[in-house]
Each structure stands twice: as C-alpha cells, then as structure tokens.
Amino acid sequence: MPVLHNRISNEELKARMLAETEPRTTVSFYKYFSIDDPKAFRDSLYIQFDRLKVFGRIYVAKEGINAQISVPQSHFDAFKTVLFASHPALDQVRLNIALEDDGKSFWVLRLKVRERIVADGIEDATFDPANVGQYLQAASVNQMIDDPNTVFVDMRNHYEYEVGHFENAIEVPSDTFREQLPMAVELLQEQKDKNIVMYCTGGIRCEKASAYMLHNGFKNVYHIEGGIIEYVRKAKAQGLPLKFVGKNFVFDERMGERISEDVIANCHQCGAPCDTHTNCLNDGCHLLFIQCPSCAAKFEGCCSDNCREELKLPRDEQRARRAGRENGVKIFNKSKGLLQGTLHIPAPNNKNR
C-alpha cells in the first residue's frame, strides 16, 4: 500500500521546492457538498495529487473541501482533470488563481480529514450551510459599496483586515472565525434592515457567514463570489475601479498580495508605515506580526530583544526553554497591547530541563 503522507523533513522539502526550475501556479478552491466517506475521498485524492507534485494544504470533511495549493504549470491541466472528476460536485469548481505568485507558496502536500473545512463552532443542528446569501460579482460590489443602505462586513481575522480591506468595511475584531460569527450577529443587530455584504479572501468563510446571518433572522444578505481574489481579478478584467485598499493577506509563504499601493498598517515595533507580516524567527515564539525592514534588521527577524537573544542560545537550551513554555495564540493584536517583552524561562530545577 502506498504511503499516504510525507516522511521527509520540512527543511529538505523546502530546499527542494526552492531549487525547482519549473514555474508553479498557486490556486485555491473550496466547495460545500456532502462527502459520505471523507477518509476514502482524501486517500484517493492524495495519491493522484502526489503523482502530480501538488503542494499545499487541503482539508476534507463531510461538509466539503477547502484547499490552498501550488501546481507545476506542466501538470495544471492534469490537476484540473483529476479534481473535476473526483466528485460530481467538483466538476468545473471555481479555481481562484493567485493574484501575485512566484510559485514558492508551498513545499509539501498536507491533505487532512477534519470535522469541518472551516472551524465555525456552530452546534445548532438546524443550521443549514447550503442556505446561503446572494452572490455578488465585481460590478455589483462597486455599485453597492457606495449605497448608504449597505454594510460591508469583513469576515477575516483582525490581522488580515489590518493590512487591507474594502472601503468603509466593518471589522469584526477576532483571531478566529468561530468567534466572529456570533460577534457579527450581535454587531449588526441594529442594521438588520440594511443590505449586509459579507466578504473574505476566497469566499469560503463569507459564504458560511451569509448562511449563519440568514439563520439568525437577517434578510438581505449577500457575499462576494470568490472573495477578494475573484473580485480583484474580475474588476481588473472589466476595467472597474478597485474598491479594496491595501494588501490581501494569504495563508502561505507569501503572506500577502498587493492590491493597491496604499499602505494602511504600521510596523508593530516602531510604528512606521508597513504592511509586511512576518513570523518571529525564534522557534519558541513564531509570533505573527508586522515588521518593517529597519526593525527586521535591528531585531534580526525577531519580535523582541528577548527573542533575539534566545535565538542565539545553543539549540539544546532553546529546546529546554520551549518545553516549559505555555503555547497559545501567537498573533499580535494591537487592541490587546504591545509586543510581549519577556519570555517565560523555566527555573533551573524545572522538570522539563
């Protein structure tokens, strides 16, 4: 039986990807549909995608599929053939091609079975994710964004909204989608009679959010078909003015696609205009935050002096410190305070030493 998961280190896989000479195409797609046996579906897809050297992150659940991947350009037609034939619901499924792409977005194929393709925290058995709001395409988006009877709602995380969003869009400040859903319902109670337009990166979160709003009594609910990625593609193709300002955050090595030249965020260390996300290089931290080139040089890619100093310690001591440290959400949120200035260092007699 073939091995249906990766057995090579991330370091080696990343080095192999960077050494590739054939261009790759970064693409995302999703579909809500019923899968009777997610594991069998996952295994079949893994075998076929692995043969085509597809890299990326794919989640499969009883409710459907969610994928962000890169495909060698010479295999792209074969990839589409495999995907479209894998289930009737996926025949001609919309593919969101990356707006800015150097082909270096992923270096390994991770295809996992999950309870949900998007963690939503919904426990209500009467909720129907198929009962979604009305789709909006680029021209309609531009028309509605200037309508005073319309509210645009960003259903992405706070760190995504911080670097780019639609003009005058409402932020639902949260680190997770499951927190956002009830927050959005509460936030918009006094605007129930207005047009509610939900949006996200590629459409998967705002589509489910639109269903949740309908489930909670909202009537005039819309969501942008294909999310920000498809909106920008269609608007450019049709010569429409772009109503999205800044950068579109993406969940791969690029961490962002430039939509407009506006820089609407600031470095989390010095406050200079900047919208470049990075992860702290310290393995005991990996905080996601915004860092300008000057601070990246000053702190050597770390979020603080403490992390910079810890990164210089012998590997064994770094591992010992990490073993005694509680892990939580590693995302900088400007509403929750400044970057952490200290790290928890276990006492010398710590059992993890």
Q: Domains plus CATH for the chain?
A: 10-113 (3.30.70.100), 134-246 (3.40.250.10), 265-353 (no CATH)
pLDDT over 60 at 340, yes or no: no
Q: What is the DSSP letter of 281?
A: S
- How far apart CA 256 and CA 165 sit, in angstroms, is 12
- How far apart CA 63 and CA 120 sit, in angstroms, is 12
Higher per-residue confidence, 52 vs 317: 52
pLDDT over 50 at 342, yes or no: no
Q: What is the DSSP letter of 340?
A: P
**If you write DSSP's letter for every residue of 120-178 in order, what string do you get?**
-----TT--TTS--EEE-HHHHHHHHT-TTEEEEE-S-HHHHHHEEETTPEE---SSHH
pLDDT over 70 at 352, yes or no: no
Q: What is the DSSP letter of 269?
A: T
**How confident is the model over 176-204, as a mean pLDDT?**
93
The 3-state secondary structure of 57-110, one letter per residue: EEEEECCEEEEEEEEEHHHHHHHHHHHHHCCHHHCCCCCEECCCCCCCCCCCEE
Q: How many Cα atoms within 13 Å fall on the side-chain side of residue 267? A: 17
Q: Which pLDDT value is given to residue 60?
A: 96
Confidence category of residue 333, pLDDT binned at 50, 70, 90: low
Higher per-residue confidence, 123 vs 75: 75
Q: Which two tokens stand for residue 253?
A: 């090595």
227-277 residue pLDDT tens: 999 999 999 999 999 999 999 988 777 778 899 999 999 999 999 999 999
Confidence category of residue 103, pLDDT binned at 50, 70, 90: low
- How far apart CA 60 and CA 49 sit, in angstroms, is 14
pLDDT over 60 at 344, yes or no: no
> Taking the C-alpha atoms of 55, 96, 165 and 134 in order, what is their torsion angle to the nearest 10 degrees?
-130
Q: Which of 200, 274, 292, 302 is catalytic?
A: 200
- How far apart CA 108 and CA 9 sit, in angstroms, is 10
Strand partners, 223: 135, 198
Confidence category of residue 337, pLDDT binned at 50, 70, 90: very low
Q: Are the C-beta atoms of 244 and 164 separated by less than 8 Å?
A: yes
pLDDT over 50 at 7, yes or no: yes
- How far apart CA 267 and CA 72 sit, in angstroms, is 35
Range name among 57-71, 192-206, 244-258 with the lowest pLDDT average: 244-258
pLDDT over 50 at 156, yes or no: yes
200 classed as catalytic = yes
pLDDT over 70 at 327, yes or no: no
Helix (H, G, I), strand (E, B) or coil at 30: strand
Higher per-residue confidence, 284 vs 223: 223
- What is the rounded average pLDDT for all residues in the chain? 86
pLDDT over 90 at 350, yes or no: no
pLDDT over 80 at 187, yes or no: yes
Q: Which pLDDT value is given to residue 8?
A: 60
* 333 CB-near residues (< 8 Å, 6+ apart): 158, 159, 173, 175
